Amino acid sequence: MALTIEQQLLEIINKSKHILITFSPSRSGDALGSSLALASFLEQQGKQVDVVVSNWQLPGIYRFLPNVKQIKNQLASLRKFIVSLDLSTNKLEDLSYSVENNRLHIYLTPKSGTFTASDLTTRSTNFMYDIIIVLDSPDLESLGEIYHNNTDFFYQTTIINIDHNTANEHFGQLNIVDFNTASTAEIVFRLLKNLHLNHITADIATNLYTGLSSATKSFKTSTVTPETLSHAAELIGLGARREEIVTHLYRTKTLPMLRLWGRALARLKSDSSRRLVWLLLQPDDFIKSGASEEDLPGIIDELVTTTPEAGVIVLFYEKKPGETCLLVQTNPGRNAADLLKPFNPSGDRLNSQACLKNKTLLEAEKMVIEYLRQILPQSLNQ
């Protein structure tokens, strides 16, 4: 009889000792809450777990989450290189080393005679992680530097892929992907319930509820199902601190962010025939509002919530004189990275960003919007 998904997951986890959890750096609440919850749960099972995300910068609204400071922004050395010396026929008198012109020189002095090249062997240890769990990410490329700088590690290590997005490419050896679920946090919750319900602590429930609430914009998106609401109620019953979550995610928008949001709305533009919406922010907007780049994803999230008919949202801002950057968010039916392909973007299918050098804000707007109008189809209803 074939093993269930939960049985396959449990079998892989039971054989592991050190687990890496990661997700796309363009993700935030759902991926973050799911990762922290899963890491805490696995640590209770006696596993050593690291959550590492490329170039991770913690959005301010999530600083309240349990164990959030444990997230690292780069991998440590994945394996050790070992140089072995055969001492069966000749003993070692002294060992020293020096570094010259970026080269390491090791000096081995025998007690008598000489050492030869045949006395030396080299090898690498196994990778320090047994498995990789990737959460809420469409593909390996979206993981950024952690993947691009360690492709051998990803190709040689078992990957568990957990996601709810239709853009997911099923890149894992075990793919736990459910397109009919509103959030990755829900999938993780179902898995943990079936593995060890009694091990879901109040902190784990709080992280999962945060992921669920973030993914559904506080249960306002069309993806919310009766099961979503049932899961939310269960998590509250398990100790999820709902009021704390609501306060930090939805009731504590800073004055600088609200001022910046107002300035962005004053320059809101759209092409309704292509379901395209864009906003412009000038350097003076950041100065007068007191906001920073850290507040920009929140502005797009607000626009997604208040403008559900928008299929593609672009936020332009002048990073510094002569360099304009843009953030793009799309609905699941489009690929944000592909939309920005001519502009060397980073990110993934749902969220992508690019910077245009030697372009003013208006020049960048003209170039990008004209290009998007060429490739985005017009609605048949127009």
Same domain, 182 and 302: no
Q: Identify the H or E element spanning 187.
A: helix 184-196
Same domain, 188 and 307: no
Do the Cβ atoms of 78 and 62 come closer than 8 Å?
no
**Helices 184-196, 5-14: crossing angle, 10 deg rounding:** 70
Tokens of 316: 């332009």
Q: How confident is the model at residue 382 (pLDDT cuts 50, 70, 90)?
A: very low
CATH number at 289 reads: 3.10.310.30
- pLDDT score for 249: 83
Counting beta carbons within 10 angstroms of the beta carbon of residue 203, is it exposed (0 to 12), middle (13 to 18) or buried (19 or more)? middle
Same domain, 323 and 369: yes
Tokens of 239: 């100790």
Phi then psi dihedrals of residue 111, to 5 deg: -70, -30
Is residue 381 situated within a structural domain? no
Is residue 382 situated within a structural domain? no
DSSP 8-state code for residue 379 = P
Is residue 320 situated within a structural domain? yes
Same domain, 65 and 178: yes
Is residue 137 situated within a structural domain? yes
Domain count, the chain: 3
**Dihedral, 148, 46, 187, 216 alpha carbons, nearest 10:** -80
- Global confidence as pTM: 0.76
Same domain, 207 and 134: yes
Q: Tell me: the pLDDT tens digits for 80-114? A: 777 787 887 888 888 888 888 888 888 888 888 78
Q: Is 214 helix (H, G, I), strand (E, B) or coil?
A: helix
Low-confidence winner among 34-38, 120-124, 257-261, 363-367 (lowest mean pLDDT): 120-124
Same domain, 361 and 220: no
What domain range includes position 304?
Answer: 258-375
Same domain, 56 and 143: yes
CATH number at 233 reads: 3.90.1640.10
Q: Tell me: the pLDDT tens digits for 142-169? A: 898 999 999 999 999 999 999 998 778 9
Count of CA atoms in the C-beta half-sphere (13 A) of 183: 36
Same domain, 41 and 164: yes
Same domain, 168 and 24: yes
Q: Tell me: the pLDDT tens digits for 133-147? A: 999 998 999 898 999
Is residue 309 situated within a structural domain? yes
Extended strands (E) in the chain: 18-22, 48-51, 81-85, 92-100, 103-110, 120-124, 131-135, 158-163, 174-177, 269-271, 276-281, 312-320, 323-330, 346-347, 351-357
Partnered with residue 338 across adjacent β-strands are: none
Same domain, 360 and 240: no
Is residue 380 situated within a structural domain? no
